[in-house]
Amino acid sequence: MKEIEVVDDFEADFANLARLAAAGSIEDMRLYLAKLVRKYRAGRPQFSSKLDQLLKTSQIRASGPSVMRRAPATSEAVTLLPQDQDSRQSLVRVFDDRDGLAAPILPAALAKQIDDIVSERKERAKLAAHGIRPTRSAILVGPPGVGKTLSARYIATQINKPLWVLDLTTVMSSLLGKTGNNLRLVFESAKQNEAVLLLDEVDSIAKRRSDDSDVGELKRLVTAILQEVDNWPDSGLLLAATNHPELIDPALWRRFDAILRFDVSDREGVALAIGRFLDRDAQQFGPWINLMASSLMGQSLSDVERAILTMRRNALIHQIPPARLAVDLAIRHAGELDKNARRDLAISLAKEGAMSHNQISELTGVARDTLRKYAGPSPLKGRGHKKE
């Protein structure tokens, strides 16, 4: 490479990088840098290897657009993510958790549905030999924070793919005319890459349809999605998630091969999740996990996670004893629980002996007789928490 050509090239490359930086498109910058590593490998080996090192040591973590993590910077097989033609922004978020993601905590029946989808993928050839198609699409339904996105990520890791997430709320907020093109682009690209594609907040189309003046355009959009779902190949997996199944167009609903229904966890699930979220503090909080589970019944595991992290911070920074934190948690949440859960909580509190039966009864409305029956006589006559 002649020196003058190299300088020209550097200028052009620099300008391209600046353009990508200005568009805020980190994954594009990384892809471009990976290209430069190859381009300059022969002519400028030191520069090329420096760039290569840089790329490798600054891998993007799970929630980032991390295609580069799987495809080494120097590999030719770099996946090109679909982008908005004008802004050059990536239209999908990528989760790549293939270096390890614990299975979500779910009721056995739902976990089995998920395992079946995964097994069908793995046995695709066997199914095909009998003329049977695997489950190609599934809709994940349930309230916020119960593990829908997490399960989609888990499914993707199990079939050794990154997860592409297309957030329909974001796409819908752009110009409608463009939405159609962008949608087609994402579907095309997902099909080519045999990706696991998650249409997040798929109900946002319906919401827009009911309160938007541009009804014709939206109808076309729904039709486009319906066609895409129909034409989705066996080689990819199409997932959709929603908190509002009632808003989904019945025609769209019908097209999904499987329906995965999520809900808040039962007590056992909450206790399991608490153990997981406590992580290295599990031993310290061990005796209180049951009480904590009783207090947090009915909450999403996302809320449970937040509560547990707050407790761990308080235990560490303010040196508050776990017993005290657990009892405070119970006091805060007693009012939100239904009758059965309140009774559970009252009995747990009584068994822990952290408060007198009188106090527990006041807090939970559960009769002292009930407490005595299930937890034995009150250990405390006085007030306040038991001493550590």
Q: Please check whether residue 172 is in contact with residue 208, taking contact to mean a CB–CB distance below 8 angstroms.
A: yes
Given the complex with ligand ATP, which of 145 and 322 has the nearer CB atom? 145
Binds ligand ATP by CB under 6 A, chosen from 79, 89, 235, 243: 243
Residue type, 333: H
Q: Shortest distance, CB of residue 290 to ligand ATP, whole angstroms?
A: 19
Q: Does 278 bind ligand ATP (CB under 6 A)?
A: no
The residues, ordered by sequence, that sit 6+ positions from 249 with a Cβ below 8 Å of its Cβ are: 205, 206, 222
Instruction: Concatenate the DSSP letters of all residues of 121-173 into one string.
Output: HHTHHHHHHTT-PPP-EEEEE-STTSSHHHHHHHHHHHTT-PEEEEEHHHHHH
Q: By CB under 6 A, what part of segment 305-344 binds ligand ATP?
A: 305
Question: If contact means CB under 5 to 8 A according to the sort of partner, which of Mg ion, ligand ATP, none does residue 166 touch?
Answer: none
Binds ligand ATP (CB under 6 A): choice among 55, 105, 239, 366: 105
Choosing from 73, 166, 168, 273, the residue that interacts with ligand ATP (CB under 6 A) is 273
- Which of Mg ion, ligand ATP, none has residue 273 at its interface (CB below 5 to 8 Å by kind)? ligand ATP
- Least CB distance to ligand ATP at residue 130 (A): 33
Binding mask 140-179 for ligand ATP (x = CB under 6 A): --x-xxxxxxx-----------------------------
The pair of structure tokens assigned to 104 is: 């979500």
d(Cα 185, Cα 81) in Å, to the nearest integer?
A: 10
Nearer to ligand ATP, 105 or 325 (CB): 105
How far CA 325 is from CA of 61, 99, 262, in Å, comes to 32, 34, 30
- For 295, the token pair is 């207090």
Distances (CA, A) of 183 to 59, 67, 199: 28, 20, 10
In angstroms, rounded to a whole number, what is the distance separating the alpha carbons of residues 23 and 16? Answer: 11
- Contacted entry of ligand ATP, Mg ion, none for residue 147, CB cut-off 5 to 8 Å set by kind: ligand ATP
How far is 331 from 325, CA to CA, in rounded Å?
A: 10
Helix axes 301-317, 322-333, angle to 10 degrees: 140
φ/ψ of residue 242, rounded to 5: -155, 150
The count of chain residues that interact with Mg ion, using the rule CB under 5 A, is 2
Of the residues 48, 66, 149, 242, which one makes contact with Mg ion according to CB under 5 A = 149
Q: Which does 150 bind (CB under 5 to 8 A by kind): Mg ion, ligand ATP, none?
A: ligand ATP
Q: Minimal distance in Å, beta carbon 287 to ligand ATP? A: 23
Min separation Cβ 141 and ligand ATP, Å: 10
Region 55-94 residues binding Mg ion, contact defined as CB under 5 A: none
Q: Which among 143-151, 157-165, 207-215, 325-333 is the span making contact with Mg ion, rule CB under 5 A?
A: 143-151
**Angle (nearest 5°) at CA 65 between 24 and 257:** 130
Query: Which C-beta is closer to ligand ATP: that of 107 or that of 353?
Result: 107
The residue count for the chain: 388
Provide the binding-site residues for Mg ion, judged by CB under 5 A.
148-149
Provide the binding-site residues for ligand ATP, judged by CB under 6 A.
104-106, 142, 144-150, 243, 273, 301-302, 305
